[in-house]
Amino acid sequence: MKKNLLFVSLLMVAVAGMTVFEVSGADAKKKKKTPVTLGTNPFVTHIFTADPSAHVWKDGRLYVYPSHDVDPPRGCDLMDRYHVFSTDDMVNWTDHGEILNSSQVPWGRSEGGFVWAPDCAYKNGTYYFYFPHPSGTDWNNTWKVGIATSKYPAKDFKVQGYIEGLGDAFAMIDPCVFVDDDGQAYFYYGGGGRCIGARLKDNMVELAEKPRKMEGLSDFHEAAWVHKRNGIYYLSYSDNVPHPNGNRMHYATSTSPLGPWTYRGVILEATGSGTSHGSIVEYKGEWYLFYHDCSISGRGNLRSICVDKLYYNPDGSIQLVKQTKGGIKK
C-alpha cells in the first residue's frame, strides 16, 4: 500500500504505544497559523479508515474518531477495531492506537465485526464514545448503540451498556451526539433512509424523550452530523441517489437542534468510494469538513479519511467543498 503513496513521505515513530505521522516539507515544520497549511490527503495511510467524527476537546487538540476497514476486506461485516487520531496543527497526526473492538462488547454478536461509524462527546469530566453494533446474527435487525466511557479522549474506554428506548433496531447506525451551548445534549442516528433525534438526559446515556423523525430532509440515506454556527443548526448527511461515483453529502438548517429542517443543498460531491460520511468542525478559527475516499486502495470497502477547508457564505449557506490532495495553503 505504501509504495503507491508517491505524494506522501511519512516518518513513523513509536512513542508510548502511539504512532506519530509527520508530513515532510518546510510548510509542515513551520506550523504557520496564517495562512493555514493542511497536510496531505488522505491523512491516515497506514491503516484504512472511514466515517471520521471530528471534535475539539479541552486540551486544545482536534481528535478524529473513525471506523476501520479491515484489510483484506470481505465486506462491511469485517469492520472492527476503533482507533483515535489527533492533531494540533492540521498537518501532523498522532495515532493513539486502538480504543475498542467488538470482542469487548458483552451484548454484541458472537461473530464480531460490524462496528461502524462512531461518535464521541464530552460532558462533566467524562468522554462518551457512541458506537453501533448488532446484538445478534441477524445483524441488520439487531442493532444497538453502545456507550463506552473514559476520563481521557483517546484511551481507557470501557463499555457501559447501550442506549435503550430507540425503537425499531433496523439499520440503527451512524450515531451522532451534539452538545449545545447550554450543555443540553442531543442524540441522533441515521440509517435505512430515516434520521431520528431526541434530547439526552444529563447522564448522557439515557433518552430524555421519545425519539422523533427529523422532518424536512431531502433524500436522506445515512450519516447524520449536527453542528452549530452563529445560532444556526446544520444537519449534514449522505443521500440515496446512485451517482456514478457514489453518494453525495447534503445539508439542511434549522433554528432548533431537532428541526424542522430546511433543505439547503449539496456540500460534497461523491468521492468515488460509493459511500459518503463526514463531520464538520471549527478549529482555531477555521472550519473543516472531514470525509473519506478510496484514493489509496481504489476499492470502496478500503477507505481513507481526508479533510478539506469548508467555507460559509455571508447568509450562512455552505459552499461546495473542493476535494484536494492536501498539502496546500488555504
Instruction: Give the catalytic positions in this structure.
Output: 51, 222
Beta bridge partners of 162: 146
SS3 per-residue string spanning the chain: CHHHCCCCCEEEEEECCEEEEEECCHHHHHCCCCCCECCECCCCCCCEEEEEEEEECCCCCEEEEEEEECCCCCCHHHCCCEEEEEECCCCCEEEEEEEECHHHCCCCCCCCCCCCCCEEEEECCEEEEEEEEECCCCHHHCEEEEEEEECCCCCCCEEEEECCCCCCCCCCCCCEEEECCCCCEEEEEEECCEEEEEEECCCCCCECCCCEECCCCCCEEEEEEEEEECCEEEEEEEECCCCCCECCEEEEEECCCCCCCEEEEEEECCCCCECCCCEEEEECCEEEEEEEECCCCCCCCCCEEEEEECCECCCCCECCCCCCCECCEC
**Measured distance CA(203)–CA(166) in Å, rounded:** 16
Residue 217, CA atoms < 13 Å, CB-side half-sphere: 29
